[in-house]
Structure 1
Amino acid sequence: MRVQAVVVTYNRLAMLQRLVPRLQEIAGLERILVVDNASTDGTGEWLAAVADPRVRHETLATNTGGAGGFHHGLGWAVREGADLVWLMDDDGLPAPDCLDLLLQRQQRDGLEFCGPAVLAEQDPARLCFPIRLPGGTRVVHEMAAVEAAAQDGLIDDVVIPFNGVLVTRGLVERIGLPREEFFIWGDDVEYLWRAQRAGARIATVVDAHFLHPATDDLGTPMMRGRTTYNHTPSDLKHYCMARNNTLNLRDYRGWPFVLLFWLKTVWFYLFTRPQPARIPLSARAAAAGLRGDFAGHRRYLR
């Protein structure tokens, strides 16, 4: 099996400089393909100086966001002949045995889209991103809860996409590449839901670990803890989230779920974290996405 890593980076040279050496230490990686989203912090120059023929990089003409980066990188790996592609952002850090554990379960169980437990770097006992356990509405934040819920070491039908996930060439050929026009936020969920719709075998391998900095206020409790909302202080991230989440829910869950998301958005920014200006911003973003306009986020780029 030809296994290649794809790393998407943008202006985080210090983090890339700890990730690439970790990947170089991991046996079994044929190539490490780095997609540089037009970084301006010396990333391209540093990559050009890496004296390892396995490490290759391509610098894009403009910043295409994580969505564009993974679209480009996954396509690149498939063209290079990869049978399995290991996808990650520049700020993650796989445990030394992460890939081995993923490969063991991928081959044993025929997984087409599998990933590690993504742990908060500041506190590895907690998940970086809360997950909803299959078969119910329970959302968990603690690694212990994931371990308790696992069946034969797996959480079926759950992964945190693009954070150390393995994707098979066959699945990519079946469902295509990530939606590059999404820029950031929601492209990973869309790809997961597309894979689920295609009947892919998906799972989190609980013993495989991947560290990621815990950022923003993902899963902020609202309505007295009965539900959560993916709040972020960044207008850029929020614009993309409101636009892309509206489209994902419409395409994969239906209009009632879109309405529920909008009720939560209005409630959150009127009562939970009062920021009334976020409501018209959200509406503009969703309307743009529904009419196929994916350029609006660029006004928030810095």
Structure 2
Amino acid sequence: MTDVPATRIVAVVVTFNRLALLQRLVSRLLEVGGLAEILVVDNASTDGTAEWLAAQAAPVSTLSLPDNRGGAGGFDVGVRAAYDGGADLIWLMDDDGIPEPDCLKILLDHDEYDFWGPAVLAEQDPSRLCFPIRLPGRAAVVHRMSEVELAARDGVIADVVIPFNGVLVTRELVGRIGTPRAEFFIWGDDVEYLWRARKAGARTGTVVAARFLHPATDDLGTPMAFGRTTYNHSPSDLKHYCMARNNLVNLRDYRGWPAALAFVAKTVWFYAFTRPDPGRLLMSAKAMYAGVRGDFTGHRKYLRG
């Protein structure tokens, strides 16, 4: 009788100057078990992360980058390394999230998918989603976990997933679609990877019993247009520049120019009427024009040394 080889699962974690959060996450991943490797991609941190990682033993391993390439660059390198190292499944996450101890086990019970993940909950209030989602067949987004649980079928919300927050991706899918777009730096790289996977026919879903906690961020989803919609506003110039550039590129490439131009109009409305800010309007225009031209270098002016 031929033995069936064990599934090689590699967790890929991207970090930058958040040592305490990274330590918490690595400790949890060691507790989770079942991982052949915990691969930490360090984006040239300067807070002692490199020294701490150097002292860790297997299954923790490190890829230290010479400069900060953002989440997109880190996941590009990490996914490639995991794939080249023979991973059958790659478990993707940033350093500030944390899976519940049984998260991976529950996800593995649904291995009929190609790109699937847990419910991502606000760490400050786990009854709420960290990132609101639009359920299949509904126009409005939902914010409460109870609504997600009620909508699930066989414990899964099909065709909905929050990428790079505890998602599993199969080796076969990576072989077909490649790695995340490194040039995006931050923001939109996760959405682009998910949309690319769907375009390739990947089966996606959220397993509602699997839980992943993430800090609620900024004031994303700011109401606008008399409360009829929301806008992903961030006080960070770096985040906003990347969001405006990368979101326009994603919409153009996957939804077409009408969707991209609707995003332009939404941005103009938000910074002209909802939160008037001529400086942000100008930044948005420059970022979007750069994206259309294929220039992914403009965010560098907003990086801190």
| TM-score by shorter chain over 0.5 | yes
State the partner residue of 2:83. 78
3-state SS in 2 of match to 1:82:
coil
State the partner residue of 2:67. 62
Residue type of the alignment partner of 2:170: T
Match of 1:33 among 10, 34, 39: 39
User: Could you tell me how far 1:270 is from its partner in structure 2?
Assistant: 1.2
State the partner residue of 2:216. 214
Query: In structure 2, what is the Cα distance between the partners aligned to 1:78 and 1:195?
Result: 16
Match of 2:120 among 102, 110, 118: 118
Deviation by residue 1:117-163 (Cα, 9 ceiling, x = unmatched): 00000000001111111123220111111111111111111111100
- Of the structure 1 ranges 230-239 and 133-142, higher mean CA displacement relative to structure 2 is found in 133-142
Query: In structure 2, what is the Cα distance between the partners aligned to 1:174 and 1:137?
Result: 32
User: Could you tell me how far 1:105 is from its partner in structure 2?
Assistant: 1.0
State the partner residue of 2:202. 200
Task: Show structure 1 runs of 5+ residues with no match.
Answer: none
- Of the structure 1 ranges 86-95 and 273-282, higher mean CA displacement relative to structure 2 is found in 273-282
User: Could you tell me how far 1:27 is from its partner in structure 2?
Assistant: 2.0
Deviation by residue 1:84-103 (Cα, 9 ceiling, x = unmatched): 00000000000000000001
Query: In structure 2, what is the Cα distance between the partners aligned to 1:275 and 1:155?
Result: 38
Match of 1:43 among 41, 49, 60: 49
User: Could you tell me how far 1:218 is from its partner in structure 2?
Assistant: 1.3
Residue type of the alignment partner of 1:92: G
Task: Confirm whether residue 93 of structure 1 aligns to residue 95 of structure 2.
Answer: no
Task: Confirm whether residue 14 of structure 1 aligns to residue 20 of structure 2.
Answer: yes
User: Could you tell me how far 1:251 is from its partner in structure 2?
Assistant: 0.3
Residue type of the alignment partner of 2:158: D
Query: In structure 2, what is the Cα distance between the partners aligned to 1:143 and 1:160?
Result: 14
3-state SS in 1 of match to 2:28:
helix
State the partner residue of 2:3. none
Query: In structure 2, what is the Cα distance between the partners aligned to 1:244 and 1:67?
Result: 11
Deviation by residue 1:33-85 (Cα, 9 ceiling, x = unmatched): 000000000001001112x2110001101000000000000001011110000
Deviation by residue 1:204-236 (Cα, 9 ceiling, x = unmatched): 000000000001111111112211110000010
3-state SS in 1 of match to 2:110:
helix
Match of 2:130 among 121, 128, 133: 128
State the partner residue of 1:163. 165
3-state SS in 1 of match to 2:113:
coil
3-state SS in 2 of match to 1:218:
coil
Count residues with an aligned counterpart. Answer: 298
Query: In structure 1, what is the Cα distance between the partners aligned to 2:65 and 2:96?
Result: 19
3-state SS in 1 of match to 2:23:
helix
3-state SS in 1 of match to 2:150:
helix
TM-score w.r.t. the length of structure 1 is 0.97
Identity level (%):
71
Residue type of the alignment partner of 1:289: G
State the partner residue of 2:287. 285
3-state SS in 1 of match to 2:11:
strand
State the partner residue of 2:4. none
Residue type of the alignment partner of 2:23: Q
